[in-house]
Structure 1
Amino acid sequence: AGLVQAATIDAGSFDNCSPVFLSVSRDGVEFQPQIQVNCQDQGSPLLLTLRVLDASGLENFCEMEVSVRDFLKPTLVCPPNLSLNCLQDYNDTGLTGQASGSDNCALQSITYQDISNIQPCNIGSLTRWWTATDAAGNTKKCSQLISVEVVNGATVTFPQDVLLQSCVQPSDLEPLATGQPLLGGQMCSPLSVNFTDQVFLAPAPSCYRILRHWKVIDHCLYNPNGGSAGIWEHTQLIDVQDHTAPQLVLPSDITIQADPATQKAMVSLPDVEALDCSAIQLLQHNSAFSGNPLNVSGAYPVGEHWITFSAMDACGNQAQQTLLIKVTPAYVPDPVWQVGGQLRNEAGIPVRNVPVMLLADGFYTETSADTNGVFVFEDIPDSLDYILQPFNNGNWRNGVTTYDLVLISKHILGLEPLNSPFRMLAADANLSGSITTFDILQLRKLILGITDSLPNNQSWRFVRGGYIFPDSLNPFTQPVPDQILLPFLQQQQMGQDFTGIKIGDVNGSSNPAEARELRDTLYLAYSDQQVHAGELLEVPVVLGGWAQTDGFQFGLCVNPAQFEVLHPVFEQPQWLNETHVHRTENQVWRFSWNQSFGGATPQHDTLFRLMLRAKTNGSLAGALTLNHHDMAAEVYTPAGDFALGLRARTTPDIALTQTLKLFPNPSTGTFFIQNPHPGQEMSCRVYNQLGQLVWEQSGTAAELVQVQLSTPESELYRVECSSQEHNYSGKVLVQKH
């Protein structure tokens, strides 16, 4: 607090008659010669009233603002100077002491700031400056000196000497296994621990010894320039003993044949290894044929050579192991040869994947021809009498079709002889040494699936390559050589070829890569009709121009979900009957027929009538299909071979084909057709031997219809006429002059 005198704020008040008396007031009511101010009066101006009184009691007043300020510094007492050790926290004022102070008004704060000279080991000194500040900003400072001293209280216990009974390398002997110093006590910073090893070879039973020099340093105490404080040193003895012998790794025993010229064998072997925990001091062997202590490779004479290896490790442990090198006398092998050739058919096309056997007394081997028909036997012993023979008795139907029966029939009748002895052998289905209708019967059973093979024969026959038939028109006069004899084999026998004959395949179609190209498609036909479940019906199956064909084959299927097949009815059994038909296990009706040539021909085009019982209501169209899985559907004519299809016609029925009357016959290119139904609508067509349409006419026809061919050729023409209810056909021979 402070006093404000009235005279302090007076600026020269006076009176003209008498002295004046001064007084001051805070509130302008109570006036005193002085007033008291305190710390609460700071901050805002204080309004005071000055009164001037003379002797007569007259007075006057004036006001003024007074500012109150604090210019007194606070008092501050620092804690005493002190010393700590490096483990104590000099930032803990509870440990180092707290400054105290006071102020006439209000003490605002007491703070400190350190000026440090503390070293890395946490030792040294610092000056702590304390500052007291009051509300008016007046400050007071004092200092405190704090000294931090080193601690010398560390303890070190070194590991004891160690004896190890194990096979271990010096580099593997870490302190975790042999012991390390134990550190204790108080210290200003972690101690550094280091060691160095000296390895010495030692007499048995020791392998080696290690002098491990330990050095522990307290860098806060240690002075490298002198004195022993802060450093501890010790040498530990590690003695390693090993009683395990080295392990020898040798190559396997070897048996080798001597060179015929030198009767010695060059033996080449890898290096021997000796495994041990310590270094191998000695590794040797007793072989007289190698100077390399790690390897016994060299030239060895005939006999048994027992090589002993010895190894000793650094601890004096020894091991021995023996290797046998056996050299046998030189062997001159018997010579071996190659035997091989090629299988081809008459056209030179390879016959592939056919087994070929080579046999002799006490010897048999077999191989197979590759995709080029080539076969080779390797390493065949010499001086034996060999028989070489291919054989193939599978895939019997491959290449065998009704067309082959047509060709065989023409050969038997002399109309078109088979012009090759190989084709004649293929036609001899029953291996009777002749070609007869019985061969046709056997082959037809094979085609129809009645039989799966031919009795007394094989699927293929093979004839020695280059064989010349004594009579090429009759290959049956002498046995055909189907094997090659190789007596007392003494050399290579390549080029031992054979010609393959597929039995039944007289036109050579057995090779899939040489399939026959058919000209076009002719069609079997039947009438579509609506049927009801349980209904019995006859379905005529027609082949237009049947009488002009040489033969046909096909497989017919009837949808078993729609119809039950009762049996076929043959319209002309003298040409087509049960011998030409077979029903397979999977319900395929196979047909195979060929013309008898030279005799009568079928009178109309209906092959047969199929007796069916309907299982459901519906249409017949689509219920009949041709099966092409095992049998190609084909028809053979003088004009060429055609594929055979199947169509359903929408006409009510298919009428029987009747024979036309044609005259003159033979003709020069102009002839007449006698119309069976004069005055009715009639359509007539004429086809040449190639199946090409060369003349046609439609409309109301007279009793005689004249045909005049524009460019007639000397050949047999087919004539067909049809009305709404009838079909007619005939043939006329044209001969040009």
Structure 2
Amino acid sequence: MSDSYLPNQPNSHFKDCEVVVNIYDNTSPTIRCPSDISINCSKYNFENPLKNKDTSYFNKYFGIVNTQDCQKINPSNTFNYFNQQNAQATAPNGVAFDICYVKVEQSINYSFSCGEGVVYRNFVAIDSAGNKSSTCIQNIYIHNDQPIVVNQNVYRDPGASLTKPCDGLLRKKVGAYENFDTDPYFSIDSVLSIIWPDKIVDIVNCVFADSIGTGCDSTGRDTGKPIILGNDFCNPVFMTYKDEYFPIEPGFCRKILRTWTVHDMCRLVDTSWSYFQVINIRDKIAPNFTMGCKNDTVCSYINDCFPTHITLCSEAEDNCTIKSKLKYSYIVNLYNNDTYDQSGKGNCASIINSNLYNENHSIIWAVEDDCGNINTCKMIFRVKECTKPIAYGKSVFLNLSSSNCTAVLEAKMVNQNSTDNCTPINELKYKIVKEKDYKSNYTTEEIINLSDTIVYRDTNVGANFVYLIAVDNNNNWGSFKSIVIVNNTFGCFTPDSSTSYITTKSDLGELIDSVDIFKNDSLWFSRSSGIRPFKILDSLQHKITIIGNSNARNGVSTADLVAINKHILLVDTLETPYKRIAADINNDKKIATSDMVELRKIILFIQDKFSNNKSWKFVDKLYPFLTNYPEKESYQEFIFFNKNKLKYDFVGIKIGDVNNSAKLNTFSDHAVDRASMNILIQDKKFSLNEIFEIEFDINEIGNPIDGLQFALKFDANSLDFVDMNVQSDCYNPELAKDGILLCSILKEDLTNSTIKIKFKSKQQGWLSDFLKQDYEWIRSELYFGNGNIHPLVFDISNRIEEDELYQNEPNPFSDQTKIKFDLSVSSEAILTIFDMNGRILNKIAGYYPKGKNEIVIQNNDLNASGLLFYQLKTPNYEATKKMIVIH
């Protein structure tokens, strides 16, 4: 430090001086540490503080050094801690002071292992001059008074739920083996340092079999681990486990024996404790088929049709077992008749048989995983011969017709000795396609729908390339490219801008062919097509009319009778003028019952032509109907030629056809593919000169009908037709004398739903040997109120001369199945279902009538699955068959 002095002189004469004084602090600070203490390791965790030299941790729990300066000395305070006996204790803190400023620095050393040792806290006080005190040390003595304690006889039982790994009660083992029922409960309050997990744990999903955890939560993949109750600060133990796998165990997919070991490395000798835990892996999910179960058609490629050789394969996947470990087996049922013809192991079956074509066959696949779960499936398959025909063709020359300027090429005209390995040559079908329309990858449906004709016109004169397609009975096809030369020797032409033409179309716009065109009442064009070009060079007036009087039955059936009858009864009127004209059968300018009588005679072949009408009428399309009764009007059936008029349109009306079903040209087809409906005619045995009736109930079809028509053929040398329970105008009595029974019946013709036909026999025999359904005269059909038409099929049942048990349908089944059997006489019958061990699962007894019988079996009536047997027993018959139940 320095200072200066200036004297106060009046004359201002002075001298100054400066004095410098240096002050030194050579006195060291004074320090005293917190008191030494003894503690138990169980209360404090030194692991991280010691590792990180964390002085704040020790300041918090084991005292501090208070700082005091400027000689203001105050007594140090105290700190609280847990002593060696884990009791609360108090000890003084340390203190550091100096004449002025002081700070304290602290460092830590230790000697500590297995819960025993000493921690050294080193303190130094430092003042502002850098003087340091001597080092003082606080010694913290650490003791381990509670080493880990394990009772080898204490374990956890499996617990209430085998899927929860830590819910078992503590038990005390009293014998050589654990007895979960009789071993006494061991109190958790007893001295115990380890609680083992449950002795037995179930894992119910084998997906986790290779990644089983050690948690205690019920996750489906954890099995628990030992819990250490002792202080880890004092007993640094560690645990390990080792798994032994037992792949196949009864009732389990896999079993794991897990050995837990807890190690205490702080003993004089390595000490460890072991515990055995059983982990059961359960799996109840059967493999799932991914291939081989879908009903299918299988191809066979051979040169000579027989024998047939095919290979079928299946494939499955499983949630636990890899694909290569799945085990497959199969049973083959040729012709699907419950006769097992072949069986084997593996996922592919090779089948060789003399003839597998055109029949349904089945194969039942079974697949089993490593856990014993089995799944089955049934595949219905048909074998198709897939070898293509070899098509051969030739060149064809055609000439255009003078009448319609067209030439029709039929596919069979191109064919020249096409062959096939299986289908006879005379049964091959042929299609023809223009080169520009041909493709090499037709589908079966496309092949079936291809035409067998091509129409050429004057624009096609010259060379035309075509493909002949030969189709066998299995819809396999081959093709051959050929050439067609079209000539026009008559010089015909198609209409152009200067050409007039006549059209004949239905009211729906469809062309009508094969009509005769008259000019001034003289035949002009014979059997003309629906579009007829022409040129008239003069300017005279010419009357053009169209005549069509062939095939009165074209488009006519009982369906038209139904519609006309509804119109007469005002139930459902005919909606267009053309249909009303078509309904005027006898051409008397009105629609009445007499028209129905005339039309029915045509349907039943009683007469071939209309008495007072032609088959067709052609009306000027431009004629405007003026009233609500077009049949009464003088509608115009001709058109006058006008040199300025190019188009002459006629609407063709097929007399009697009010539902537009007539065939109008080569290409028209009004057939509707509807499901057929069957009606049963019970077979019966008759004797010589016996008068008997056959009958059938039309209510068997379920829905009320408006009418029906049918044709039956019987042997006129064996049976005479007598009569029916309908009016005689509903059938043709003359044809019935020759063994053809044609019937056209409306619902108004019936007194009830049962139709009865009476015959007289000329010899003895069975009805089914002499009566058949006829398909040549008229179509057998049913007509419903909504306008739908369904084919009618008569099922003339086979006679039953002996008892017979049939295969259940369906088989295999999962919900229900039907077991059918025939009885030659009415009698008691007992149906018994039993398993492979002979255990009876269901028994049904009753009195059943002669003929066909049926019993429905529900799956839940059996309480079983797999292969079962069913037996039918009557006083004179006994038979047993197999069936398969699938869950």
Q: TM-score scaled by structure 1?
A: 0.38
Instruction: From the CA coordinates, give the structure whose radius of gyration is larger.
Output: 1
Larger relative contact order (C-alpha < 8 A, sep ≥ 6)?
Answer: 1
Q: TM-score scaled by structure 2?
A: 0.32
